[in-house]
Structure 1
Amino acid sequence: MSEQQYEKYYVPDQSPWPFVGAVALFLIVVGAGNYVVEVSKGKDGYGGIILLTGIAVLLYMLWNWFKDQINESMAGLYSAQLSRSYRQGMSWFIFSEVMFFCAFFGALFYARVFSVPWLGGASNNVSTAAVLWPTFEAVWPLVTTPGGTQTQAMPPGGLPLYNTIILLVSSVTCHYAHVGLEKNNRKNLTMFLGLTVLLGLLFLFFQVEEYIHAYTEMGLKLDSGIYGNTFFMLTGFHGMHVTLGTILLIVMFFRVLKGHFTPDNHFAFQAASWYWHFVDVVWVCLFIFVYLL
């Protein structure tokens, strides 16, 4: 019998970056929570500083971890078996993100389908509605809070529609960048990937403009009842994912400029592409259920 051949499986040295990333995420969660409370109560505090520190640590971690991964890949240390492990890992990561957004869409569904009708007297809850909120009208979106705060619903036209078009177009440009890489057409790869990055940045710019408009002109804030809570929770977390996706694409763009990736070896680019298509799909669902319906 011939000697059985085993494929090598590269095991990297111990890395500090998972720990650094955990610290960064902890600072972001603590800082964001305190900052929201401080803003809602009009008080000064350290929430914003903690949040910015967490973001800075996260970016530092991403930069160094990406650098280590790139150096290992370019050194030829990875094998086909390890590549399959990366694909499985990225697939499970995106699945976890799907469940993450399903939880928030589930909260929106529960509020609209169950809570609001119950407060309006549905399912024989007339007495409960009369006690909790006597003047309540079971309509969505709720533009009046129990405390009497008035707000406005964000219309689907204007900036939200522009951002929908931008993300849909960016998904197309990302696909053609991938096609260019598979055909070893570096010109198309660079051009379409650059366009995707610009469209991602444009989306984030318009979302900031939308938030400024909501806060300053519409009275739509985090404390604007269940509608304001779900609106900023869904759009805000999606904006964070677009930010991460844009960072990934920027890294891929500079790697392309340095001549990295081949038609047969480009999973890092493929993973970033998967993630970008994921955030595009989430936005389409968000635009339908948050803005249109």
Structure 2
Amino acid sequence: MDKIDRLKVFCLVVEKRSFAQAAKQLGLPRSNVSYAIQSLEKEYQVLLFYRTTRKVSPTHEGNIFYQEATGLIKQLKELDRFKTHARSQEGSISIGMPNRLATELVMPYLLDFYRHYPNVKILMHADDDFTHLIEQQLDCVIRVGQVQDQYLLIKPICQTKIWTLASPAYLAELGEPKTLLELEQHFSVDYHIKKHYQEWSELQFRDQSIKMPYRLLVNNTEAYIQAALEGLGIIQIPEFDAVPYVQQSKLVQLFKDIPCLSLPINILLTDRQYRPKYFQFFIDWLDHLLKEKMVGS
């Protein structure tokens, strides 16, 4: 019997004014009730009851102890709601991820998740900049690229290849480069989230990086892709995002024979042992979705 159980026994004895009645209601031997009271008196060095052969009544200190104990038990009952909440099917999940991954891969399939948990709210922070799980108080983050954070649990999903693309109109104007050296005669669309102007842009491949001129710099992925569609330069985006444009002949994949850069995709979580059931389901669902869509892209 732990301390909380002993306190509950004590409170019942006060209310019943009887060790025997308390034992009967709890379904315990009377000796267990007596031991619980004696252990509290010994621990706190206080006499809690006046005992006679006919009557049990709390001492002055016992009455004060009763007020404190009932308040503590009430607070613990309030805390128990967290256990109920963790088992329930209602709550919220806050998640951060790159904007295009949110709009192109996750949002189109969220109704599938809601079929299982219709009362769970998804608070989605879709941003081209890195979302910071702890600083922004998020439950999880999808991160494209290398991650080094000793305070987070890293759940690997897959690798995504980075494709190099240009529009048919751009290639009709300037020709399709066959080697990386020819890129010096071409233009890229430069992309930086924060103000960071440089004279040259840079395309990255698995074994090397190539500097090349640019005519346009943008600060979000929507504008970056749209610039390529308008024929303003060469871009590099993840395979999952590139495939639909290539299949629709809106963009052309370049340098297919040159090994492209691959980046890991991970789900980042705080290393919590206890998670609500709906949150763990969401993580498993998201893991399956990303693997299916990205590996199959």
TM-score (norm 1): 0.22
TM-score (norm 2): 0.22
Q: Which has the higher strand share?
A: 2
Q: Which has the higher helix share?
A: 1
Larger Rg: 2
Higher RCO (C-alpha 8 Å, min separation 6): 2
